[in-house]
Amino acid sequence: MVSDLRKKFVIVTTTLMIVIFGAFFIVTQIANLYWTKVDTADFLYTLAYSDFFLTDIDGSVEDTIETIIEEDNPIFGIIVDKAGNMLSSKTVGNSARPTISQTTIANILKADTKEYRINSYVYARRQLEDEKTLIVITDTSIDDNFTTKLISTIGIAICGIIILVLITFYLSRFVTEPAKAALLREKQFISDASHELKTPLGAISINAQALSANMPENIYTRNIINESNRMARLIEKLLTLSKFDEGNISSQEKISLSNLAYEIFLTYESLAFEKGFTYNYEIENDIDIIGNADEIRQLMTILVDNAIKNTNENGSIEICCKSVNGEVELVVKNTGVGISEEDLPHVFERFYTSDTSRSNKSFGLGLAIANAIVKEHNGKLQVSSIQNQYTEFTASFKTI
């Protein structure tokens, strides 16, 4: 449970940090792109209203311009007539770049005078004499080393995420340590209390049985015996859970799941018949797994007993043990009131009982023990249910 809590803490924390930093990075890049274009437009406006592109260009000025322009994109100074025909063109920067197309020039002349961008171009224009127009323009599209920058950015991001996960996982132990200590104290208390209660409870049961032998009609002694037996069953279940909590793994060997299924399911057949249930089981032969026979018996007993307790009048119980895609599935399905959607996520929690289960005086430990047994055998226990129709438990194991 603590390890699951730690994983969830790491996942939540890492996801939150990635979302925050990712959003910050995206917003920053968009803002930088916007302001870069605005600054570029201001610079081009300054060039347009200076006489730089209307006079001869000497080398020193061109060097100065290239120094001012942080990007290596060329700046074009184009003079066009009223019809948009290019009369002259001068370039500052990397002249190996392609020139501005006639379509782009035409679109600029049609654009609103307040506009300074068109597609990837940023421009400034100045109206000259004789209905001529000076267009100072540069291409701000992503330059040729985009792939290299993208790969570098992704690499840095992945490294940052890995470092973040490692740091978060390391720090998470300080967050989960109090919870771990509390869980250990709770488990230790349950184990100790269960052991300590066995002796006085046994004495109560023995004395009550002695009294009952002398007073067989006494209702109070019968109640004491019944309740002491009920408490004894509760203590046994708590001790079983404590064994799994402490990691006391039972010896496992090759066992026949088919034979165990026949043994347990035949045992309950007469009980189901007495209650008027339709009781069918289908068991595939020669199914073997690695496990503990006593624990698998206990698992089957819990699932079938649970089905019998919760089957409606004249209902049915269907049991199946079969191989499916390299795994073994043990399925116990019964008709009845079913389990509500609110209860489904909690059916394997300790001491959790739904309103319908309380009427059966359930401890809420049987399914928790069943789930612990399946996990110890490296399997998975799942439940599905539709209210007032059916409930189905499926235990999956690996075959050998």
- In order along its 400 residues, the chain shows pLDDT tens digits of 566 777 777 888 888 888 888 888 888 878 887 888 888 889 888 888 887 887 654 444 444 444 444 445 788 888 888 888 888 888 877 655 556 788 888 888 888 877 888 888 889 989 888 888 999 988 877 554 556 666 777 788 888 888 888 888 887 777 777 777 776 777 777 777 777 777 788 888 888 888 888 887 788 888 888 888 888 878 887 777 777 776 666 788 999 999 999 999 998 998 999 999 999 999 999 899 999 998 999 999 999 999 999 999 999 999 999 998 888 999 999 999 899 888 888 888 877 776 554 445 566 788 988 998 999 889 999 999 999 999 999 999 988 7
Whether this model's pTM surpasses 0.75: no
Task: Decide if 323 contacts 399 (C-beta within 8 A).
Answer: yes
CA dihedral 156, 161, 167, 170 (to 10 degrees): -140
In whole angstroms, give the CA distance from residue 80 to residue 83: 8
Task: Decide if 90 contacts 76 (C-beta within 8 A).
Answer: yes
The domain 2-144 is classified under which CATH number: 3.40.1190.10, 3.40.1840.10, 3.40.5.90, 3.20.20.100?
3.40.1840.10
Domain ranges, ordered by start, for the chain:
2-144, 147-245, 253-398
For domain 147-245, the question of CATH label 1.10.287.130 is answered with yes
In angstroms, the Cα distances linking 216 to 145, 209, 223, 280 are: 96, 9, 12, 40
Burial class of residue 262 in the structure, from the number of CB atoms within 10 Å of its CB (0-12 exposed, 13-18 middle, 19+ buried): middle
In whole angstroms, give the CA distance from residue 89 to residue 136: 10
Sign of CA dihedral 310, 315, 321, 323: negative
Q: According to CATH, what is the number of the domain 253-398?
A: 3.30.565.10
251 φ, ψ (degrees, to nearest 5) = -65, 140
